[in-house]
Amino acid sequence: MLRPSSGCFLVMLCGLPGSGKSTAARWLGPRLDAIVVESDAVRRALIEHPVHGNAENAYVFAVIHRVVDSLLCRGHRVILDATNLVERHRRIVRAIALQRNAPMFVLRLTASNAIIRDRLRLRRSGEAQWDVYQRMRMSSEPISGAHTSLDTSGDTREALERFALLVERTVPQVAVAGERGGSP
C-alpha cells in the first residue's frame, strides 16, 4: 500500500442529478483545499454526445476511479462530484480510499422534485435532464455506513461549513484554505 502525504482525504458526494452536488463541490473544494473530480466534466471530455447509458457510465467511472486513485496516491485532498447512487459503485470508491489510507467522508445531497426539475431545466445540453433523473431515481440505493445528509432546497452555507469543520476535526492536518462564509 502506498502511503499518502498527511492530510489527504476523500469526500464522496452522492445524489441525483440536480440535487446540488456540483454547487456543494464548488464551495467545499476551495474551503478544504481539495481537488474536485467532477463526473460531468469527465463525461464531456470523453464522450461527444453523452446518453448516460450503462456502457458509457462504466467507461466514465473507470476513468474517474483511476483519477481519484492517482490523486490520493499523490497525497491530494479529493472531492468526488458524481451521483454515486448504487452501493456496489460506492464500495469501489471506499476501497480506493482504504487502499490509499485516506479518510473518506460521504455527503448525500437531496432536494425536492420541484426544485430539481427547475434546476435541470437550466442545464446545458449534454448534462443529465429530467428523463435521466427519473431513470436514476429508480435505481438509487440507500447508503450503507456513516454519511451526512443535506437537503439543498434552501440555503446550504451553514450546513456545508459544519461538514467542512467535521472534515477538519477528523483529518488534523487539513488547513483552512478558503474564506469562511462564501456563498455556495
Taking only the tens place, the pLDDT of each residue in 18-66 is 999 999 999 999 999 999 999 999 999 999 988 878 899 999 999 999 9
Close Cβ partners of 135 (under 8 Å, ≥ 6 residues apart) = 52
Q: Answer for the pair 33, 175: CB distance below 8 angstroms, yes or no.
A: yes
Confidence category of residue 184, pLDDT binned at 50, 70, 90: low
CATH topology of domain 10-170: Rossmann fold (3.40.50)
Q: Which residues pair with 80 in a beta bridge?
A: 12, 37
**Banded pLDDT at 4 (limits 50, 70, 90):** very low
For residue 138, give every residue at least 6 positions away whose Cβ sits within 8 Å of its Cβ, in sequence order, or none: none
Residue 146 CB neighbour total at 10 angstroms: 8
| The overall pTM is greater than 0.75 | yes
Sorted by where each begins, the domain ranges of the chain are 10-170
Could you give the CA distance from residue 162 to residue 179 in angstroms, rounded to a whole number? 14
Q: What are phi and psi of 144, to 5 degrees?
A: -90, 145
